[in-house]
Amino acid sequence: MPMQQTLKETVSLEGIGLHTGAETVVTIKPAPAGSGITFVRSDLADRVEIKADIDNVVDLARGTAIGKGDAKIHTLEHIMGAFAGLGVDNAVVEVNAPEVPQMDGSALPFVEAITSAGLVEQSEHREYITIDEPMDYVEGDLALGVYPSDH
């Protein structure tokens, strides 16, 4: 079974928020094995930490938003896609605004930044989710379905 991975070095990117138009800096740091992906609102006095977890999803209207209390982080799909595509299991993502910057509208700038930082194998095995039965989620006119597969 493959081992978990994190970044070798810290890396930062700057860009504009898609919905807010705010100048945003996102800093991606290595994290311990087993910690997962944690977003930190570095612009807030209490530096609220929000784990990238389904239980923290607070909005799906114009993208995915996670939150804790009044603190939220929007439009994290591309950075999460970069983590998934590169096999990053653990990272701390500091964001100095309420959303991750849009960059060029794709995951590529995040992929390039993470690749330049390098990855390091960690001491714990990677965890996988297995879908054993169909699952459907519907909220208003939004729907998501996940189904078992042999592939």
Identify which has the larger pLDDT, 19 or 50.
50
Q: How much is the pTM?
A: 0.89
Q: What is the CATH number of domain 3-146?
A: 3.30.230.20
Predicted pLDDT at 129: 86
Q: Quick check: 151 pLDDT over 80?
A: no
Mean pLDDT of 25-31: 98
Three-state secondary-structure class, residue 64: coil
Question: Tens digit of pLDDT for each residue in 48-73?
Answer: 999 999 999 998 887 899 999 999 99
Identify which has the larger pLDDT, 19 or 24.
24
Predicted pLDDT at 53: 95
Residue 37 near residue 54, CB atoms below 8 Å: no
Residues 6+ apart with CB under 8 A from 16: 22, 23, 24, 101, 102
Q: Quick check: 135 pLDDT over 90?
A: yes
Residue 13 near residue 26, CB atoms below 8 Å: yes
Per-domain residue ranges of the chain: 3-146
Residue ranges of alpha helices (H) inside the chain are 77-86, 108-117
Confidence at 128, pLDDT banded by 50, 70, 90: confident
Q: Quick check: 143 pLDDT over 80?
A: yes
